[in-house]
Amino acid sequence: MSMMLFSSKRPATGKRLTLSLLAACALSLSACVSNVSSQVKESSKDQSGTFDGTWVAKVQKSPKRQTMPGNWIANCDGSEWNFTLRVVDGVISHNLRASSDTTFVSSDGDFRFDIPVQTQAKARAGSEQTLGLTRQTLIVYGNLAKAKGRFTTGVAEFGNSGCTAIIDFARTGA
């Protein structure tokens, strides 16, 4: 979940090629994942028990270099990893950190977590400047019915853009 940001001060040809390749990677990452832009309200939570149980969230391999707003390049971990979700009566929790964050899953299977974290991450612009990027949010959203989602380490200074990866969900038990 760590990242370093670098400005993309490169010759025009290399920059265009890099941005084109990164845009293609970003497009392939977004395939079949709908954006859940806000948390599900309690009044809209699933009450049928359809999604109740334990789910494994399988974060897929992602590009190690991802483009951020302002032509910044994020160097991301990019490796595959898993975490667990637990749904009980339409309330969903996770094991991402030692806190008790919960949110609601809708009757359609949509959910979203916005988990604030404090970090010591740094970003460098060229070699002269370092930015202290300490306001980050772990953003996890998806749809359990479609078994797809996205994980993003969002950086507040970049509008919560950041290192992002596709998640596949699989129910492991009741």
| Distance (Å, whole) CA 59 – CA 90 | 22
| Per-residue H/E/C for the chain | CCEEEEECCCCHHHHHHHHHHHHHHHHHHHCCCCCCCCCCCHHHECCCCCCCEEEEEEECCCCCEEEEHHHEEEEECCCCEEEEEEEECCEEEECCCCCCCEEECECCCEEEEEEEEECCCEEEECCCEEEECCEEEEEEEEECCCCEEEEEEEEHHHCCEEEEEEEEEEEEEC
- Residue-wise pLDDT for 106-158, tens only, equals 999 999 999 988 765 555 555 444 456 668 899 999 999 999 999 999 988 88
The reported pLDDT for the residue numbered 22 is 39
Lowest mean pLDDT among 10-14, 32-36, 45-49, 77-81: 10-14
The reported pLDDT for the residue numbered 6 is 52
pTM for the whole structure: 0.75
**Token pair for 174:** 């009741």
The neighbouring-strand residues paired with 73 are: 6, 67
Give the count of beta carbons closer than 10 Å to the beta carbon of residue 58. Answer: 16
- Residue-wise pLDDT for 26-59, tens only, equals 434 444 455 678 899 999 999 999 999 999 999 9
The three-class DSSP label of residue 108 is coil
- Structural domain for 31, as ranges: 3-173
Averaged pLDDT of the chain: 79
Amino acid code (one letter) for 159: G
**Token pair for 147:** 């078994």
* Residue percentage of the chain with pLDDT more than 90: 49
Q: Predicted confidence band at 15 (pLDDT cuts at 50, 70, 90)?
A: very low
In the predicted model, is pLDDT for residue 162 greater than 80?
yes
Q: Predicted confidence band at 169 (pLDDT cuts at 50, 70, 90)?
A: very high
The reported pLDDT for the residue numbered 156 is 85
Number of domains making up the chain: 1
The reported pLDDT for the residue numbered 127 is 43
